[in-house]
Each structure stands twice: as structure tokens, then as C-alpha cells.
Structure 1
Amino acid sequence: MTNSNNYCVIMGGGIGSRFWPFSRKSLPKQFLDFFGTGRSLLQQTYDRFSKIIPPENIFIVTNDLYFSLVQEQLPQLSASQILLEPTRRNTAPCIAWASYHIHALNPNANIVVAPSDHLILKESEFLESIDKGLKFAAKSSDLLTLGIKPNRPETGYGYIQIDEQREGDFYKVKTFTEKPELELAKVFVESGEFYWNSGLFIWNVNSILKAFNGLLPELVAKLTADEGVYGTEKEKAFIDEYFPACPNISIDFGIMEKADNVYVLMGDFGWSDLGTWGSLYDLSPKDKDKNVSLKGDTLMYNSKDNIVVLPEGKLAVLQDLEGYLIAESDNVLLICKKDEENSIRKFVNDAQIKMGEDYI
């Protein structure tokens, strides 16, 4: 039986520019089905949480542009469960708004906050961790994040260092470190004291609002200019007016790295942040030459360590290529070195400036 005090906030407003050209402004990655499951990343995230959270207590925070997409993919949601941002302001304003909204509905709410684009391979273990975290939040004023035991020195993830202090399975967080260089990441993994920061958070609504008040007062000032609007018909007009003036800051930098009451629960549930083509390559089945081919068809000759993603019904023929990304979607074909995918944001910006919005 689900707990009526438990809520879920799914953040689904990003553009996913690192997955260009598949992820586009009009159809970002969270609305795409990368693995041919028949469900998009957003739908899979909703499906997962709806097994332990009352469906009416699940909220999607997204951009105004994606209201119809969310309704189309999650028709079981009421319009009031889709919180629409007028502009992108990173995760702290997004989470703060959702927290004030939920507090107006239930001042005793325990909330799990999750991105919409994570892959979870061991669902039952994942849900056990979430349930354990929600029970922790219900009786504690501390903030909780989920940590993942690293299996490689990954430079694309943030790291959490744990303290010796603990409460059962929950360890006090000592430090956060954003995306380290490779040599430092190796030291982190070898030390055994560092875990990947999953970007999954659990807390009581009063605990997170207290943290916002203490650490991001300028954000709180914007969102509490009229607290009485939350949960009423006036809320959207209020957000449209005040949200764009909120500081553009992440929850990690604004709250988690500064708060002195952050704990971490270790998880082992086959987690991956599906943030880049490289992460998709790592998760996908490979041929004997370590090539990945998704959706379309490929013929490979003396080629290895490539990822090819084409529309269904298209054929790519590769000869003498090693370590390349070949991705085609609609009116864009991208060919670049697989391990230099940070350049993709530059490609997107250049295409937008030189060619216009039709290619973005």
C-alpha cells in the first residue's frame, strides 16, 4: 500500500543538447525511446515511481513547450500534475517551486526528486532504496541523496565523499566534487570513500524549504512574493511573472554542497545517467569489433569502436573508421569522434547561429 504523504517530482524540462541531432528542441531526449522498449525515458521514469508513489502525487516539472508532449505520453496525469516553467532556470528554482506547490497540498509531504532521463536496470533494488529513503525523510530533518558505487574512474559524473559518521545505512556527506579530471577520478575510485552522485534526492518538504530559506534567500524571495497562490488558479500567472527572475543555479551547487545536514544512501541498482552518446554506447550491445548500431542498418568494413544511430530503414556503410559517432535524425547528419562529444554543444550553437532554428 502506498503512503499518501509520499510525493515524486520528475524533472523533464531539459533540451538534451548533448544527444543532438536525435534530441531536438521540439522533441528532447526525455521523450525519446532509445532502446526500442516502446516507452520513452520519461515514461519509464513515471512507470518506475508509480509502483511505490500514489499516481496522483507524481508531478512533472517541464518547460511550457512540452505540455502537450507530456500529456500525450502520460495521459493518466491531470493538467495540475504538470508544472510548466516559462523559462529554464536550472534545478534549484525547479525544485523550489515544486516544493512550495506540494507544501500547499500536503505540509507533511516526503518528496523524491528525480531526473527524467536515468536508466535503472535493477528496478526492485532501486525501489527498495527509494522506499528506505522516504522512511528516513519522514522522521528526519536531514537531506538525502543516493550514491552509486563507482566501477570505473568516470569523469562525467559528480562524486560524493562519505564521512565516518552514519545513521544505519545512511552516511554523512563529507564533500561533493563536480566532474573531476581523469587522474583525480582514479584516486577517488581507489580510495573507496567516493561514490557517484546520482542526482536523486529525498527529503521532507519542510526540510528542503528550510534549506532554501537559509542558503538561497534570493530565490525564496522571488517564489514567496505571494505564497498564497500555490495550489490555486493564480499560481501559473505568478510563476510566469516571477520565475524568470530566479537565479540560474543547480540544486547541487545552491543547496547540497553548502548544507551541513546532507546524508547519502548507497545504491546498487544498475544506474546510469543517460546524458551523452558515450553513455549510450557503454550501455548498448556491441559486435565483435565493439561497434554499436541502433535503429538503422549498418555494414562495417575494418571498422571498430563506433556508434551508428540512424532512422529505421536507412543503411550506413563504414570503412576504415575507428572511434566515431555517426548519427542522423530528420535534417541533420552528425559525424564526429566518439570521445570528443563535448564538441557537440559547440556544433549545436554554431548550427543555430549560422543555419537557424530549423536544425536545432
Structure 2
Amino acid sequence: MPNNLDHFYAVIPAGGVGSRLWPLSRADRPKFLRDIAGTGTTLLRSTWERLAPLTGDERIYVVTGAAHGEEVQHQLPELLQHNVILETEGRDSSAAVGLAAAIIERRHPGAVIGSFAADHLISADTRFRRAVVEAVRAANEGLIVTIGIQPIEPSTAFGYIRAGEPLEILGAPSARQVDAFIEKPKAATARRYLTSGEYLWNAGMFIARASRLLAELEENAPELAAGIHEIAEAWDSPARDEVVARVWPTLDKIAIDYTVAEPAAKKGGLAVIPGFFGWDDVGDFAAVSRVHEGVSNCDEGVSAIGSPERVIAYESSGLVISETERVIAIAGLQDVVVIDTEDALLVTTRKNAQQVKQLVGLIKESDHPEVL
């Protein structure tokens, strides 16, 4: 990789309460701490290994919940304690990434930061890193940059980015103006986007000078920005705990898309680098099934993870993930999803996988919230 990235710092927001992949993912062990893809490596560890060649170990920061700090350090022994930002409670990505940017800017003025989720699945790491290098070069020009994923299907599960005119940036030949962000579309609209070739999936990756990102935050969410600056100013001082306890819970919960990316796009200050690599946010069990598609290790078309020898299927297809010694028998069901753990069993279908989050809400109000 090029050696002109000495001022580049990676930020890994590692949050979540495990609602969309319950019961495989739980509040005390969300999906980024799990080996969701069956590769033998957790999503968090894979994210680290993807970024380290660009930054070295010393320029990666992780923002995570206090409850996950110990396990994060266990999975990432190279992570410097100085670079761990523990949240007392989740306040969404504007607060998480904003605080990391403010801390890094105070420690390393002029730094470029990149935010990369801890729980996404990416293949073709070399192509990913090439896209990041281009993004850093575009960020050096004062732009906020995102990496958009070249869509391979008309998905309704992701937001979209409409890419505009090419930008003439030295070292970033594929950079294009961002014309607009679009929320998750309906199927017909998604098909039109795919056919046009003008749209990319929004993967939530943002690269910018820390000072530029903070300036955008100050303009669009001034109270949130003021709180972030107050915490960052105290972060490397004895006052940290008192200031965090007082200020952090008051910060607005809002995604960085709304406080930074979309406002910057409206002003012509956002660029996109198309990413030609495999990407999935593994956001529900339909996505997990997609990851394991074609790996049918039962007599029927069922992908069984964990204990395939204990899964018996007849005229069925789908995904089974087992963490128990039970025999699981399936007959006459298509695209079924079965998640079997010691204290909870989930049965759904790929089509209805998005409903798991609502199901978790019902469990939270039931007599058995302990399984969350």
C-alpha cells in the first residue's frame, strides 16, 4: 500500500444490541463479536485485519459499549488501550464517530479519518483498500467522501447513492460527485436504479479530514457538536469520567448520514468512490442465508451451521444454525430459518427475517426478557 497515508486514522464503530440476528446475537454479544459468516473469524477481527495494512495497529480506534470493551480487547490484542473509546450507552453514529474525530483531531491535528462498521462482511480486501486510498486522496482536497457499493441486484434492504459527474482529483480517478442520498426504495424503484447504472448502495463508510467532519457537524447539529467537543477536551485529562457521565447521555441519537453526509451532498461537498468488492451488512437472517447460499451440507437444500450431522431435512431448503446437541428435523418447508440456542429457538423464513427486530421488542415486554 502507498506510504502517503501517515495521517490516516481508521475508526471502527462497534455497537448494537443484537436485535436483528437474535437469538444468535445478544445484547452482551452482538453480531460483530460473532463469526457470522462461518469463516473462523469474527466480523470485528475481519474488519481489523482489513484496515491494519492501511494504518498500522497504532492508528485504529474502536468505539464500543462499555459492556463489550473487555471482549473487544480480547479479540483485538493489538488495539492500543489509548485508542479505545467506551460508550456508557449507545447514542448512534453521529456521537460515536464525532467523538472519535474530535479526540483524533486534538491528538493529531490535520488527520484524515475513515469510519468503517465493525459488523459488515467484505470480500476482495485488496479492492477495498484501493477504494479507501482513493477516498483519502479525495478527502485531502477538503471533501467528505463515502464508498458506495456497486449493486449486484435490485435490493430494497439498502439505501442508495446517486452518483453524479466525475471529479478530477489526482490519485482518485474514480471519484464522483454525490447528487443525492435515497432511502431504501421499493422493488420497482430498485430495479430502475440498477438498470440506470447511476446508483450505488450506501454502505455507511465515510472518510474526511476530522476537522472537516466536525465543521459539518457544528453547522447542522450545533448542540450535539458542542457536547462532543466538551467531552473530547476532557478525554485525556482527569476530568474525563465526570464530563462523560454528565454530557454523553444528553447527546442526540442521530445517524451521521443526516448530520454530515446528506447536508454535505446538498452543498456539493460530498464525493463517492465506487467500490467493486463484495459487501453485505449482514443485517438479518435473509442476509446470513445469502452468505451461506449454495453450501448445502444436508441431503436437501439446507445449509446447516454448527452441527450439520444433527440436521435432517426432507423436501426443504433454508438455513439452520445450531448451538445445541438437539436433532433438528425439517419437512416440507422452503427458505426456512432455524436458530437453535441453549435458551431460545427462532423459527422464521428468509422473507420474514426483517420481523425479528419487532419480535425482539415483544420479548422485551414479555415475561422472558432475560433471553435478550
- TM-score strictly above 0.5: yes
| Partner of residue 306 from structure 2, selected from 268, 278, 295 | 295
Equivalent residues of 1:104, 1:231 under 8 A apart: no
The residue that corresponds to 1:71 in the other structure is 73
CA RMSD of aligned residues (A): 1.7
The residue that corresponds to 2:60 in the other structure is 58
Deviation at 1:316, TM superposition (A): 1.4
| Partner of residue 357 from structure 2, selected from 331, 345, 356 | 345
Partner Cα distance (1:290, 1:100) in 2 = 50
| Partner of residue 283 from structure 1, selected from 291, 294, 316 | 291
Shift in alpha-carbon separation, 1:226–1:33, aligned structure 2, 3 A: closer
Equivalent residues of 2:231, 2:244 under 8 A apart: no
1:96-107 matches, cutoff 5 A: 96-107=98-109
Partner Cα distance (1:255, 1:19) in 2 = 28
1:142-157 matches, cutoff 5 A: 142-157=143-158
Partner Cα distance (2:161, 2:154) in 1 = 13
Shift in alpha-carbon separation, 1:2–1:142, aligned structure 2, 3 A: closer
Shift in alpha-carbon separation, 1:41–1:226, aligned structure 2, 3 A: closer
Residue ranges of structure 2 left out of the alignment (5+ in a row): none
Shift in alpha-carbon separation, 1:90–1:351, aligned structure 2, 3 A: same
Partner Cα distance (1:141, 1:230) in 2 = 26
The residue that corresponds to 2:179 in the other structure is 174
Secondary structure, aligned partner of 1:17: coil
The residue that corresponds to 1:203 in the other structure is 208
Deviation at 1:312, TM superposition (A): 5.9
Partner Cα distance (1:216, 1:271) in 2 = 30
For this pair of structures, how many residues does the alignment match? 358
Secondary structure, aligned partner of 2:9: strand
The residue that corresponds to 1:328 in the other structure is 340
1:1-360 matches, cutoff 5 A: 1=3, 3-137=5-139, 139-167=140-168, 168-225=173-230, 228-259=233-264, 260=267, 261-286=269-294, 287=296, 290-297=301-308, 298-304=311-317, 306-311=318-323, 313-360=325-372
Deviation at 1:268, TM superposition (A): 0.6
Deviation at 1:123, TM superposition (A): 0.8
Partner Cα distance (2:144, 2:236) in 1 = 24
The worse-fitting range, judged by mean Cα deviation, of 17-26 and 346-355 is 346-355
Letter in 1 for 2:321: V
Question: In the TM superposition, what whole-angstrom CA distance separates every residue of 1:238-269 from its partner, at most 9, and x where no partner exists?
Answer: 22321111111001122211112010000111
Secondary structure, aligned partner of 1:334: strand
Question: In the TM superposition, what whole-angstrom CA distance separates every residue of 1:78-126 from its partner, at most 9, and x where no partner exists?
Answer: 3221101111111111111111110111011111100001111101111
Secondary structure, aligned partner of 2:253: coil
Letter in 2 for 1:127: R
Question: In the TM superposition, what whole-angstrom CA distance separates every residue of 1:117-150 from its partner, at most 9, and x where no partner exists?
Answer: 111110111111112212222x211100001111
Output the TM-score relative to the length of structure 1: 0.95
Equivalent residues of 1:126, 1:267 under 8 A apart: yes
Output the TM-score relative to the length of structure 2: 0.92
Deviation at 1:311, TM superposition (A): 1.4
Secondary structure, aligned partner of 2:54: coil
Deviation at 1:165, TM superposition (A): 4.8
Equivalent residues of 1:18, 1:342 under 8 A apart: yes
Shift in alpha-carbon separation, 1:277–1:160, aligned structure 2, 3 A: same
Partner Cα distance (1:230, 1:128) in 2 = 33
Identity %: 27
Residue ranges of structure 1 left out of the alignment (5+ in a row): none
Equivalent residues of 2:324, 2:341 under 8 A apart: no
Equivalent residues of 1:12, 1:116 under 8 A apart: yes
Shift in alpha-carbon separation, 1:203–1:333, aligned structure 2, 3 A: same
The structure with more strand, counted as a fraction of residues? 1
Deviation at 1:12, TM superposition (A): 0.4
Deviation at 1:289, TM superposition (A): 5.5
Deviation at 1:236, TM superposition (A): 4.0
Equivalent residues of 1:162, 1:171 under 8 A apart: yes
Equivalent residues of 2:324, 2:340 under 8 A apart: no
